[in-house]
Amino acid sequence: MNETGFVEAKALIDGAKRIVISGHLSPDGDTLGSAIALARLLKAYGKEAYATADLNALGKLGFMKGVEDIIPVRKLRHQRKKFDLFICVDCRSLDRLPPEIRGVVDGLPTLVVDHHDGEAGSFGKVDMSDASASSVGEIIWRFARWNGWELDDVAAEALWVSIVTDTGRFAYEKCSPETMLVGADLLRHNVRKELINDIIYNRFSNKAMQLKRIAWKSLHVWRSGRVAEVTLTRDDFRAVRGTKADAEDAVEIPRLCQRNEVAVYFYQIPDRTKEIRCSIRTRNNWNAAELAARFGGGGHLHASGCTIKTSMSAAKRMMRSAIKEMMKCPPKQLSLPTAKPDTKTNPEPAPAPSDSTATSA
């Protein structure tokens, strides 16, 4: 794990009084968990620190401790001028922030903490990102440890949610021996691990169940299942009065096909016609970040997202032809982590292009 930026980040924090923290639109477990934990840690350190998020987009994550301290993005505008530092977590591009926050943080000194594959450059004044980290939560844990900051139970639970969700419950490629040690440390606190697992992975609202049923029916498989898709249209969401957050995991359905290598979930946000979001998951080194980057999105090697501003049928045509083209040549053999027990960090693949308009990966 890379600790570059910690010294500069600390200096920036020391020079600030009122700090605002935000992650990307449609916050996921890592975004929310790292924002909550960081705000707690900074408060305990003597700063005024506020995590902000679109509270209407939390979905299941609303159960998290610390959510009650989050300032809704739309209330931020009234707080202008008072902040003197912006910390951007789980994202390194202004385009991915909730629109309400862009005006508030514009011009503020900015610290970026991200772990997406991408170019080193970001809009931050100081950047303590690390593309080898499993999650931003892991970077925050390391930063806290480096500073000698103690975690309280709320921060520990938030970081647990970060890491669990971004590693697919300690299973994805970037989950390193060090990630497991961070997890082990977090469990020394009162982390409700069983409840968290149950809420996030094993319990679904009626709306979510109905959307799953529709998504299953839409399953479209080609190349003998090597490529598979599901679709939820604006009408589907309307029919069950559901939101994007009710179908966050729909991309897991096409992934279940035994031979699946590329899975895509196409969906439409009810009030945005002519805008198709694509959530992409790959296996076997097919570069999901590069595929999404063709459409201005980005993400990780095996998980990415993008938005295509066109109709559903045109978006599908474009994505399918991009997939076909990608699959013409075998994927680059990337340096995946070896089975050696002493592997310290996961070597990362060649950087993917910037993920400026990626939807949550």
Q: Which of the ranges 30-38, 192-200, 237-245, 345-353 carries the binding residues for Mn ion, by CB under 5 A?
A: 30-38
Q: Which of the ranges 25-33, 145-153, 176-184, 342-350 carries the binding residues for Mn ion, by CB under 5 A?
A: 25-33
90 binds Mn ion (CB under 5 A): yes
Q: Which of the ranges 27-35, 68-76, 79-87, 324-332 carries the binding residues for Mn ion, by CB under 5 A?
A: 27-35
- Residue list 119-158, contact with Mn ion (CB under 5 A): none
173 binds Mn ion (CB under 5 A): no
Of the pair 166, 178, the CB lying nearest Mn ion is at 166
Of the pair 27, 242, the CB lying nearest Mn ion is at 27
User: What are the structure tokens assigned to 224, written together?
Assistant: 């003998």
Task: Report the distance separating Cα 307 and Cα 132, nearest Å.
Answer: 25
Order across the sheet with 303-308: list the strands: 220-222, 227-232, 262-268, 276-282, 303-308, 298-299
Closest chain position to Mn ion (CB): 30
Dihedral angle of Cα 107, 110, 116, 119, to the nearest 10 degrees: 70
Binding-residue total with Mn ion (CB under 5 A): 3
User: What are the structure tokens assigned to 28, written together?
Assistant: 């996921």
30 binds Mn ion (CB under 5 A): yes
Q: CB of residue 300 vs Mn ion: minimum separation in angstroms?
A: 9
Q: CB of residue 91 vs Mn ion: minimum separation in angstroms?
A: 8
Q: Which of the ranges 37-45, 90-98, 120-128, 146-154 carries the binding residues for Mn ion, by CB under 5 A?
A: 90-98
Q: CB of residue 30 vs Mn ion: minimum separation in angstroms?
A: 3
Q: CB of residue 135 vs Mn ion: minimum separation in angstroms?
A: 5
- Residue list 193-252, contact with Mn ion (CB under 5 A): none
348 binds Mn ion (CB under 5 A): no
Q: CB of residue 236 vs Mn ion: minimum separation in angstroms?
A: 27
166 binds Mn ion (CB under 5 A): yes
Of the pair 57, 322, the CB lying nearest Mn ion is at 57
Residues that bind Mn ion (CB under 5 A): 30, 90, 166
